Structure 1
Amino acid sequence: MLAVGALAVSLTSRPDTMSPGIGAAADGPPNIIFILADDLGYGDLGCYRPASAGINIIRTPNLDRLAAQGMRFTDFYAGNTVCAPSRCALMTGMHMGHAQIRGNGEKPLRREDVIIPEVLKKAGYATGMFGKWGLGMPDTEGAPHRKGWDEFYGHVNHVEAHFQQHPFLWEISKGETVKVDQPAGSYNNEAFTQKALSFLARHKAQPFLLYLAFTIPHAELHTPAKYLNQYKHKNGQSRFQPEIPFPAGNHYGEQATPKAAYAAMVTQLDDYVGQVLKKLDALGIANNTMVLFASDNGTHIEGGRSLDDVALMGSSGPLRGIKRDLFDGGIRTPFIVRWPGRVKAGAVNGFIGAFYDVLPTLSSVAGATLPNPVDGISFLPTLLDQKNQSVHPYLYWEFYERGFSRAVRSGQWKAVSLAPKAGSETVYLFDLDKDPGERTNVASQHTDIVARMKAYMAEAHTPSPLFSPQYRP
């Protein structure tokens, strides 16, 4: 059962209560491309950085151009602070109090978890997914071939996706998800991009959904030389000194220059996005294609990266925290939408939304019908600069590693509850209008607001047979 507040909002904005094709252009429903980065920080893109970033800036010209041609959201959030539950929220439209997958691990979606490709496929869309899936192994109900994808080429397993040159991937063949070997020395994300470009060429004459889920800049910090060399001086030294090499013998591969490698992987990601945008232009379909871009959670400190590196490179921007935190640095994401002729170019918007809003929004855009209520709301009115935008009473997250933690955002207020052991809950309250970096806990000054935020947390959470709160002693 859905939380009362979430249900009230969801039912007012379900696509099946709206005119079919409300977002579609006169020549039919638009193509939809959703590009997802893996562990990209809020401050890693040039368009999210202050002009004073200086020599530490990471070059992202294609994503900066995408933002200039579309709408850049300042207050949009991922589904969770790690990848599997965040992707579950994206696909299902459910927040962490209701989602099937609320933590990392190989837990699959169920048959009854209706997701984006299933909804759009019924509306006549061709569906293709290339990259990191992580929502069901091949023998489960969550396998790609059972969840609405016409085409799939990528990782089904999270651990396999940790490595940039994994020797095999998976694809849909003859109605099954099967293993496919990779050429020696090849980079998996390059393969994802080439498969995506081929998909675009083959489906340019019909509405399509393309989900391109890269595994960068997630560790391992391993990238082709043409990108790494952009962050090295002519003598081969990293631009980001001092570098502390990450040695061999760990889970992730060794890397002599982790800072340069991370920056290079962000630029690698940007280059792949640029290839997709260029292909749309070449095929003559850019004007009827909605392109969305986001990251699954905040930046990481894995594979040789450190908190000092995050600070040096400004990866979390002005926000507090990183991946595995429920402070905004762990969950607020760069979010960009370009839709020529429909979304105003160069727009910057403070709509407070989350991944679980994507399903109802894309359903509205495509004129599709949602079979069940969801926690998300359509932000299509915001994209079209209309005045009838519904708003969330609150956004909700919960996280199961390091003890059970929860977070709620309601308007300007953000509450984070940390419970490292049973009976010792600590609740932080922040006024994000005055304190976007979540530096000053004002819980003691606003006990009434704390009580309301805790009530939201209680309302939003439902028990899960797969995930139960665990407290460390």
Structure 2
Amino acid sequence: MRILFICLMVCSSVTASAEKIQTPNIILIMCDDLGWGDVGFNGNQTIKTPNLDEMADSGMKFNRFYAAAPVCSPTRGSVITGRHPFRYGIYFANTGHMKPEELTLAELLLKRGYRTGHFGKWHLGTLTKKLPDANRGGPKGIKHFSPPQENGFEVCFSTESKVPTWDPMWVPKDFTNGGSRRLWWDPENRTEKLQHYGTRYWDQKGKEVTGNLRGGNSRVIMDRAIPFIQSSVKSDKPFFSVIWFHTPHLPVVAGPQYTALYKGESKYKQHYYGCITAMDEQIGRLRKALKESGSAENTMLWFCSDNGPEGNETSPGKTGGFRGRKRSLYEGGVRVPGLLEWPSKVKPKTSTDFPASTVDYLPTILATLNVKMPDDRPTDGIDLSSAIEGKTKIRQNALGFQSGSMSSFVTHRYKLISKKEKKSDKGKDHYELYDLLKDTHEKNNIAPKNKNTVKELSIRLDDWIRSCSRSDKGKDYNNKSQKTQANGP
């Protein structure tokens, strides 16, 4: 009898351990306007990102990681839906909102028993119906009210849109010390010299948060994210934490201890570089907290940016030599830093050239948990598990992109770009084709000499665009909201 009891206890322990591995903790970190070349692990020798570099050494680096769009809001939508933003009306920043019928990763994981939290920038709808807030919040933006807590997040510390990267609620009344409201300024400690920036932090109850909002904004965010993680670990429940930093979206402001690291650079660069280093410091703080809580081994920690860097080639943000920047569908606008650290599954110092995207988060996480979507709505991402394990080298499912008058279709080798010509050309499409394996910087348009490839890819691109258009008209949604089914009665 004693032997039988011991066997049962061992089996129970093994089963519990296996079940825990099947329900890893999940953290999705995303920066705002961070260029592919703005981090040490992608070759930047000026900006100090030691913690991200260590994270890259400890896990997997994606050399071809794509944001789903060249601007903020659309990419954010793709992260939590696995679908291209043109399927649900978020065509650009400050456009549309997360629709009630859309299924989010938070809702699906909540049903699975996860604790869910959102921290930082939301930009997928307004957060208040009463007070003027940020870009669209308040009475004027009621139709776009769609805060994180209505999309599956139990705990929230969120802003609608951008804030300064230091003293996030405040902006100087004047700029006699240099800088400008749009680009940068030196921190001002005298309250009488400050005015409210116009964007607020809100919690899951829809209440404005007013405490602990001075100093580095990345630290302000992490002060909320880490306690959420720690309390989740104590409750023995898996957690899903979305941490969306505002860094380094303009205006960039860094504290004196960070600008001092870049003495000799222009003021603009000091603040741009400094706020990135300040954010990197907080990522190090997060990784330390995970290790101290004993949860690091079983945590999927993802890192990326929402699009390429702001401004022109003379601006501080760097694409690493890729063509285009924010708002462009050339590589510099959508190819972003990408990392995955997951000690129990991912070997240190690994990298892959497999094309991956923010639309792949949802299907990869659901496949890891053996969870299926509750309906057959089209998704644009794929399960990356095989690529992460090194078993698959070539992506079979192409990645589609749309933004403004441009669209593109990216296979493992080729990239087709379609541009709508002016009315004088009767609205015809102009095509460009690049071999990304030989021409990563998109300097040589080979479309004229590869008409058959252009024809094949343009047909596939048009089919995908029609699918997105069908989704955008609400054709994917059943009469009964699948959101209700995901969250339970």
Distance in structure 1 (CA, Å) of the matches to 2:397 and 2:61: 22
Among 89, 92, 116, the alignment partner of 1:100 is 89
Q: What TM-score do you get using the length of structure 2 for normalisation?
A: 0.78
Residue 274 of structure 2 corresponds to residue 264 of structure 1: yes
Equivalent position to 2:126, from 137, 147, 160: 137
Shift of 1:184: 6.7
Once the two structures are TM-superposed, the CA of residue 154 in structure 1 deviates from its matched residue by: 1.7
Give SS of 1:263's match: helix
Instruction: Name the SS of the counterpart of 1:307 in structure 2.
Output: coil
Q: For the residues of structure 1 that align with 2:18 and 2:153, how far apart are their CA atoms?
A: 22
Find the partner of 1:344 among 341, 347, 364: 347
d(CA) in 2 for partners of 1:87, 1:380: 22
Secondary structure at the counterpart of residue 326 of structure 1: coil
Task: Give the AA of the match of 1:430.
Answer: Y
Distance, in Å, in 1 between the alignment partners of 2:31 and 2:454 is 34
2:336 is paired with a residue whose SS is coil
Aligned partners of 1:28, 1:466: CA distance in 2, in Å? 34
Aligned counterparts of 2:92 and 2:438: Cα–Cα separation in 1: 32
**1:293 maps to which residue?**
303
CA-CA distance at 1:26 after TM superposition? 5.5
Q: CA deviation at 1:28?
A: 4.8
> Gaps (5+ residues) in structure 1?
1-20, 233-237, 244-256, 468-473
Match of 1:82 in 2: 71
- Displacement of 1:369 after TM fit? 2.8
Alignment match, 1:450: 454
Are the equivalent residues in 2 in contact too, given 1:110–1:141 (CA < 8 A)?
no
Q: For 1:219-262, what per-residue CA distance to the aligned partner results, in whole angstroms no more than 9, with x for missing partners?
A: 10211222111111xxxxx3x3xx3xxxxxxxxxxxxx111211
SS of the counterpart of 2:202? strand
Q: Hey, what's the Cα distance between the residues in 1 that align with 2:324 and 2:28?
A: 25
Which residue of 1 is the match for residue 28 of structure 2? Answer: 34
- Secondary structure of the residue aligned to 1:427 is strand
CA drift at 1:190: 2.0
Indicate the residue corresponding to 1:252 in structure 2: none
> Number of residue pairs matched?
406
- Which residue number corresponds to residue 153 of structure 2? 149
Equivalent position to 1:384, from 383, 389, 395: 389
The yes-or-no answer on 1:221 pairing with 2:252 is yes
For residues 123 and 308 of structure 2, what CA distance do their matches in structure 1 show? 18
Conservation of the 8 A alpha-carbon contact between 1:123 and 1:367: no
Q: Who is 1:276 aligned against?
A: 286
- For residue 67 of structure 2, what is the amino acid of its counterpart? A
How far apart are the structure 2 equivalents of 1:218 and 1:77? 18
CA distance in 2, matches of 1:24, 1:375: 30
Once the two structures are superposed, residues 301-348 of structure 1 have per-residue CA deviations (whole angstroms, 9 ceiling, x without a partner) of 2xxxx42235xx7x1113111101100000011110011121111111
For 2:162 and 2:390, the matched residues in 1 are separated by: 41
Closer, same or farther in 2 for the Cα pair 1:410/1:97, shift >3 Å? Answer: farther
**Percent pairwise identity:** 29
For residues 149-178 of structure 1, the C-alpha deviation after alignment (integer angstroms, 9 at most, x for no partner) is 01010212x2557886225633334xx323
Residue 151 to residue 201, structure 1, CA distance change in 2 (3 Å): same
1:356 equivalent among 355, 359, 363: 359
Distance 1:161 1:85, change over 3 A: farther
* Greater RCO structure (CA 8 Å; 6+ sep): 1
**Alignment of structure 1 residues 31-430 onto 2, 5 Å:** 31-49=25-43, 56-138=45-127, 139=129, 140=144, 142-156=146-160, 158=161, 165-166=168-169, 167=196, 169-173=200-204, 176-182=205-211, 185-204=214-233, 205-232=236-263, 238=264, 240=265, 243=266, 257-301=267-311, 306-310=312-316, 315-372=318-375, 373=377, 374-386=379-391, 391-400=395-404, 404-419=405-420, 421-422=422-423, 423=427, 425-430=429-434
Distance 1:288 1:214, change over 3 A: same
Given that residues 98 and 125 in structure 2 are in contact (C-alpha distance below 8 angstroms), is that contact kept between their aligned partners in structure 1?
yes
How far the C-alpha of 1:99 sits from its partner, in A, is 3.9
Given that 2:354 and 2:412 are in contact with CA atoms closer than 8 Å, whether structure 1 keeps it comes out as no
Structure ID, larger Rg:
2
418 and 24 in structure 1: CA distance in 2 versus 1, 3 angstrom threshold = farther
2 CA distance for matches of 1:27 and 1:363? 14
Q: Relative to structure 1, is the Cα distance of residues 466 and 359 closer, same or farther in structure 2, using a 3 angstrom cutoff?
A: closer
Q: Distance in 1 between matches of 2:208 and 2:48?
A: 35
- Report the Cα distance in structure 2 between the residues aligned to 1:382 and 1:465, rounded to whole angstroms: 28
CA shift digits 1:329-371 (9 cap, x unpaired): 0001111001112111111111112111110111122333322
Distance 1:110 1:379 in 2: 26
- Tell me the CA shift for residue 29 of structure 1: 1.3
Q: Which amino acid aligns with 1:417?
A: S
The alpha-carbon deviation at position 181 of structure 1 amounts to 2.5
* 1:456 positional shift: 2.1
1:456 and 1:178, CA in 2 relative to 1: closer, same or farther beyond 3 A? Answer: farther
Separation in 2, partners of 1:381, 1:434: 25
Task: Label 1:146 to 1:137 Cα distance change in 2 as closer, same or farther (>3 A).
Answer: same
Q: Contact (CA 8 Å) 2:118, 2:153: kept in 1 or not? A: yes
Cα distance, 1:420 vs structure 2? 5.3
For 2:479, the equivalent position in structure 1 comes to none
The 2-side partners of 1:24 and 1:352 are apart by 30
- Deviation of 1:391 after TM superposition, in Å, equals 3.4
Give the 3-state SS of the residue equivalent to 2:326 in structure 1: coil
